[in-house]
Amino acid sequence: MSHNIKQIQKPKPLKIYGRSHYACTRCKLSKLKCSGEKPACSNCKNINKSDECIYPSKDRKIVIMESDLNKLHEKVQELENTIEVLQKHDIDTPNNNFNLKFCQFFFENTFENFEIQLYLLKKCLNNMPEKSYSLILIEKVYCTYNQEFYLIDLNEVNQLVDKVYELAHQFSNQLEINIEITQMSLCYFFILIAFGEQLLNISSNITGSTEELINSYPGIEYYQYAEHLFRLTRRNNDMTFVQCAILLGLYSANLARYTTVGNYFGVAARSAVSQGYHRHREHSSQCSSASEQVKATNEKIKRLWWTVFVIDTTWCTKTVHFQYTDTDVNLPCENIYDLGDFFDLNTLELNVHLTKYVAKFIRLIFGPNIRTFSINYINTDDFNQNQQLKNIKLGQFIITIPPINHPHNQTIININPRFKSNHSSEL
């Protein structure tokens, strides 16, 4: 179909019902005869008020030829068909190279509506920051949290950054996509740079204006990309999924979105438990390369679980999701396997021991202490009602006590109210 569409000509009406033209608002208010010229009438031009010459929009009845009406319908139909073809061409043609194999690997779900998600992917790849800028942001997150929380493996993140920018390069130059990267990995990349901007208190805001740049939250644009890329409908919730949930929660915590924080940390904790990160894992005594890989993975899982435990207990507080006694995984400094990343295991273990007492105190303060396993437990309302009935009965009993005949009757009268108040408070 040819894209050189001719300009639509306005049909000339055969007959116009009503006035041939309307007066502008200034002439109408001044009750002057308006010439009806556009864009400004002669009266407004004479007093240099051309910019204030405004004609009201009123609908008029006109008569046109049926052939002119049919031409308009044909031209509108042609334009609608052209738009539909261009939209389908933009999604399905090999120019974008998002073939079915790449989509199934990237989105991971076979039932995914790729056309809807591809728009989000294109939006993310078109708004990528400079690679050097991204590395600075990731380095800031690593230096800030490497001493206490296991949220970044620097070697793996550097490889991920290379893959993300290679994917963006292939997409922008319409090359064949041959990068193996998942939607969750791209989410991990965007939440890292969003959190880095928040920690540095800077904002790039590529798509916004200067005014929006001043008034925007640092990293909010990249956070929104990560938030939309983070999907709960996944078959396997790996360590990247848990780390994404934690980082999304930490970013939301700095925005005082505490409900969102509880949701993300709850997802991270439940996902870690569902994968068995809180349970002890046996190490093989063999020295093969496969067993070494298993040991390295178990060390990462151990660090990540205690990171989840500390963050979830500290930020979500009441009530604590998991107790220290619910786990049997090794502590951070037990059976250490050196990953060569200079992570401070001692600080993480100190945080664990501090957090287990925090969790105990929180449960003692905010826990449901009155409720028991018995179905006949006494709740707070019943306890208050019983106490009030006892006070009423005590008052009625004191009223029925007869007076005592004693020469020092005044002293007895002074003592009785004190006796009444003291015993009322005790009972």
Q: What is the per-residue pLDDT across 172-219, written as a single tens digit (0 to 9) for each?
A: 887 777 778 888 899 999 999 999 999 998 887 655 555 555 557 898
Q: Of the given ranges (2-6, 99-103, 106-110, 401-405), which has the lowest mean pLDDT?
A: 2-6
Contact 307, 255 (CB under 8 A): no
> Per-residue pLDDT averaged across 3-24, rounded?
69
**What is the reported pLDDT for 371?**
59
**Helix axis angle, 239-253 to 220-229, nearest 10°:** 140
Global pTM? 0.63
**Nearest one of 59, 55, 62 to 22, comparing CA atoms:** 55
> Per-residue pLDDT averaged across 419-426, rounded?
44
Joined together, the tokens standing for residue 166 give: 């290679």
Contact 223, 237 (CB under 8 A): no
Q: Among the CATH numbers 3.90.1070, 1.10.530, 4.10.240, 3.30.70, which is that of 15-92? A: 4.10.240
Neighbours of 360 (CB within 10 A): 15
> Per-residue pLDDT averaged across 95-120, rounded?
59
Residue type, 136: I
| Alpha-helical segments (H) within 173-238 | 183-200, 210-215, 220-229
**What is the reported pLDDT for 180?**
80
Neighbours of 21 (CB within 10 A): 15
What percentage of the chain reaches a pLDDT higher than 90?
Answer: 21
Neighbours of 221 (CB within 10 A): 22
Joined together, the tokens standing for residue 279 give: 């349970």
**What is the reported pLDDT for 425?**
44
Whether the bond between 319 and the residue before it is cis, its omega within 30 degrees of 0, is yes
Is residue 94's pLDDT more than 50?
Answer: no
The full length of the chain comes to 427
- Which residue ranges make up each domain of the chain? 15-92, 95-275, 283-367, 380-426
Q: Of the given ranges (14-23, 69-78, 401-410), which has the lowest mean pLDDT?
A: 401-410
Is residue 268's pLDDT more than 80?
Answer: yes
Q: Return the residue matching tokens 């728009």.
A: 119
CA distance 302 to 349: 11
Q: Return the residue matching tokens 């790449």.
A: 102
Tell me the Cα Rg of the chain. 37
Contact 107, 117 (CB under 8 A): yes
Joined together, the tokens standing for residue 39 give: 């864009």
Joined together, the tokens standing for residue 181 give: 């990267």
Q: What is the per-residue pLDDT across 121-172, written as a single tens digit (0 to 9) for each?
A: 888 888 889 999 999 999 999 998 887 899 998 888 999 999 999 988 888 8
pLDDT class for 88, splitting at 50, 70, 90? low
Could you give phi then psi for residue 119, rounded to 5 degrees? -65, -40
10-13 long-range Cβ contacts below 8 angstroms, 24+ apart = 11/64, 11/65, 11/68, 11/69, 11/71, 11/72, 12/64, 13/62, 13/63, 13/64
List CB contacts of 111: < 8 A, sequence separation 6 or more: none
**DSSP letters for 306-325:** HHHHHHHHHHH-SSPSS-GG
Contact 391, 421 (CB under 8 A): no
Contact 196, 220 (CB under 8 A): no
Joined together, the tokens standing for residue 235 give: 């078959």
Q: What is the per-residue pLDDT across 34-69, written as a single tens digit (0 to 9) for each?
A: 888 888 888 888 888 888 888 887 777 888 888 888
**What is the reported pLDDT for 416?**
45
Mean pLDDT, rounded, of the chain: 78
CA distance 332 to 310: 12
Q: What is the per-residue pLDDT across 323-371, written as a single tens digit (0 to 9) for each?
A: 888 888 899 898 888 888 888 899 999 999 998 888 888 777 776 555 5
- Positive or negative, the CA dihedral 389, 395, 399, 404 is positive
> Per-residue pLDDT averaged across 285-309, rounded?
83
CA distance 235 to 58: 59
**What is the reported pLDDT for 210?**
53
Is residue 412's pLDDT more than 70?
Answer: no
pLDDT class for 101, splitting at 50, 70, 90? low
CA distance 397 to 393: 6
Identify which of 202-211, 261-270, 273-282, 286-295 has the greatest average pLDDT.
261-270
**What is the reported pLDDT for 305?**
92
> Per-residue pLDDT averaged across 381-408, rounded?
74
